[in-house]
Amino acid sequence: MAKLKEKKKAIGLRKKGHSYSEILKEVPVAKSTLSLWLRSVGLAKEQKQRLTEKKLAAAWRGAQAKKEKRIRITKEIKKKAKKEIGKISKRELWMIGTALYWGEGAKEKSTKKKARGSRVRLSNSDPNLIRIFLKWLVKICKVPKKEIYFRISLHETAKERLDEVQEYWAKVTNFPLENFRRVTWKKNKIGTNRKNIGKDYYGVLRVGVKESTNFNRKIQGWIEGICKNCGVV
């Protein structure tokens, strides 16, 4: 008699659109028993919609929980890694800047007959990378600030934001706004799915040093020295 009463209650709850887990909280029976009782119970459109919405809500909560866990783990890893770096010496900054230029800077142009000189130039959109490069130039390489110049490379679609972009790079570099008037415009290709758009897009900044052909050659020598002392050549 008790089982029959529980079965009727379970069927009634199911017809109202309750899920199995919700019913099991009200009717304490084995899940296999509940499945047997409810296998022939049909649901109205509204009831099916309610169950679908609950499933979607549960999936969203699960996704949010995973996201929060991922963010928490990422923060912990970065916090620990940041402490591992510690204080950076002048020599270490020298090595960092040289390696940075190796990867991102302009190399000396060459042909079969002769090598042509090239100024020291580095282009990037990462503000912190630009800051480190400038510190390397001024503090380590002793390049006078008056010898440093800038050029912004920007897509034509961002023309209306030019003033904002110039102010942004002036703040990043701590150089006067007047140093950022030179702009190279990139034509927007129709059909290209670019991600570097929107309010967070500030183009690419080129940092250059005037009359720096021999300085560039010196940097190439430092790079060769790194290769030699690392035992890769």
DSSP state of 18: -
**How far apart, in whole angstroms, are the C-alpha atoms of residue 55 and residue 34?**
19
pTM: 0.72
**Domain boundary assignment for the chain:** 90-188+197-229
- pLDDT digit string, tens, across residues 141-196: 999 999 999 999 999 999 999 999 999 999 999 999 999 989 999 987 655 555 65
Which of 161, 157, 147, 155 has the alpha carbon at shortest distance from 184? Answer: 155
Side chain identity at residue 186, one-letter code: K
pLDDT score at 112: 47
Burial label for 133, CB within 10 Å (0-12, 13-18, 19+), is buried
**How far apart, in whole angstroms, are the C-alpha atoms of residue 134 and residue 179?**
14
What are the CA-CA distances from residue 80 to residues 10, 74, 85, 166 (Å)? 52, 10, 9, 35
Which of 216, 151, 220, 217 has the alpha carbon at shortest distance from 186? Answer: 151
- pLDDT digit string, tens, across residues 2-22: 677 787 777 778 777 777 788
Q: Which residue has the higher pLDDT, 46 or 70?
A: 70
